[in-house]
Amino acid sequence: TPLSIPHAYALLELLHHGEPMTVSELAAKLAIDRTNVSRLCVRMEEAGDLDREAHPDDGRARALRLTSKGKRVAQTVDEQSAHHFGRLAKRLGDDVGEVVAALDRLSRAMTSIEEDE
């Protein structure tokens, strides 16, 4: 079954973060509503990609941790993403720098808008 884009991004975020995080922390990293991330985590848990455990610093909170399967899937997603972005960069050729600069400006503008709200 193909992964949804949020599922793939959540896997990558958890993989690169390296340590357990809460649903709220993951929601903030993904810029997705906490309720939607909570539902996503249920699906990820059902798929065997994610475990919830007691948070080491807050016994009331649940920490999200990738399972062995989740780590394997996340690494595959990471490798495939790098491959596809590499192919895209080759096609863009000399324009890749301009595209990256424009995306960086877009990202900063979006962050600025979020901070204003």
pTM metric for this prediction:
0.73
Q: What is the dotted CATH code of the domain comprising 5-116?
A: 1.10.10.10
The predicted-structure confidence for 66-105, as pLDDT tens digits, reads as follows 999 999 999 999 999 999 989 998 998 888 889 889 988 9
Ramachandran angles phi, psi of 49, nearest 5°: -95, -15
Structural contact between residues 14 and 25, judged by C-beta atoms closer than 8 angstroms: no
- The DSSP H or E segment spanning 1 is none
| 45 token code pair | 């848990």
Q: Give the tens place of pLDDT for each residue, 20-77.
A: 889 999 888 888 899 999 999 999 999 999 999 988 887 788 899 999 999 999 999 9
As given in the structure block, the two tokens for residue 109 are: 């503008």
Burial of 70 (0-12, 13-18, 19+ CB in 10 A): buried
